[in-house]
Structure 1
Amino acid sequence: MNQKSEIIPLLRQEEGVRYTPYIDSLGYPTTGIGFKLGPQGAPLSHYTFTLSDNTINAWLQDNVDDVSASMQQNADIAKAMAHCNQPRQDILTSMAYQMGVGGLAGFHNMLSAIDAENWSAAASQMLDSSWAKQTPDRAKRHAAVMTSGQWSPTYDF
């Protein structure tokens, strides 16, 4: 059964949505779903606009397309993706969106477990990481989907 990608609603839920510019935790002017607007320390007064959901989703899809293309250029990630159904692919894309493709590529043991379709081992590797310590709730939700291959009951899309 082919499932459609839920990456846009997944990232909207996990990253949060801001319609107007704000200063992120590292001091960058940011908007939407973690879209950096300018250099660290730039004043918000330089960014006076409000985004619509359609604009945010289009911008997000463009960013996701870039992340997905970069993921396919990494042999280890591309090989793992070939073993994944759509929810698992979306989870890997979410991880790459959050920490960069290089960050995801550092999960060597997880990617090897995915290659072997050992989903519980892949989930364990996800949870045994600095990423999981930094964003524990997101990591637990992502690991649950990696284990089951299903959105429900973890996510309700």
Structure 2
Amino acid sequence: MKQRNESQIIPLLRQEEGIRYNPYIDSLGYPTTGVGFKLGPSGAPLSHYTFSLSDNTINAWLQDNVNGTLASMQSNSEIATALAHCNQERKDILTSMAYQMGVSGLAGFHCALSAMAAEDWAEVATQMLDSSWARQTPERAQRHADVMRSGQWQPTYDF
């Protein structure tokens, strides 16, 4: 199992979210591109978005989105307290969750966040998997719960 001190959030999100270089309509009807970058309102014609992105552009846009997510996470006292008890791998998992469902969605995981503050990693994983998020994205939730439980990157991550 891999363990690193530096953040792997960019490769993690690229792997979990997938990468699209050209605009497309996502499952909710929003024009989207890159690594889940919403471009406009639901129902907007795709013909309004005629460009493609490079890896450098995607990474810069992604890093900017991650920076905003991290700032919002730090402004929520319950999340900030939980982050203070996490190693870098666990912080990246929380950031991935906030990126996927928004910081307000992550803030709804009160029991998991409390378990993080107590460093009860088995309970954190249990709480993560007992959620509507896990029912909506079960494979991603399982991968994230495995990292949260162990504190180490699992072989399913290829970065």
TM-score, reference length from structure 1: 0.97
| Equivalences, count | 157
1:37 counterpart letter in structure 2: L
Alignment equivalent of 2:155, drawn from 135, 140, 153: 153
The share of aligned pairs that are identical, in percent, is 76
CA shift for structure 1 position 156: 2.5
Q: How does 1:1-80 map to 2 (within 5 A)?
A: 3-80=5-82
- State the structure with bigger RCO (CA 8 A, min sep 6), 1 or 2: 2
TM-score, reference length from structure 2: 0.96
Gap regions ≥5 residues in structure 2: none
Which residue of structure 1 lines up, in the alignment, with residue 143 of structure 2? 141
Which residue of structure 2 lines up, in the alignment, with residue 98 of structure 1? 100
CA shift for structure 1 position 12: 0.5
CA shift for structure 1 position 2: 6.5
CA distance in 1, matches of 2:55, 2:4: 27
CA displacement, residues 91-128 of structure 1 (integer Å, 9 cap, x when unaligned): 00000000000100000000010001000000000000
**CA RMSD, aligned part only?**
1.1
> Conserved in 1, the CA contact under 8 Å of 2:146 and 2:154?
no
The ranges of structure 1 where at least 4 consecutive aligned residues each deviate by more than 3 angstroms after the TM superposition are none
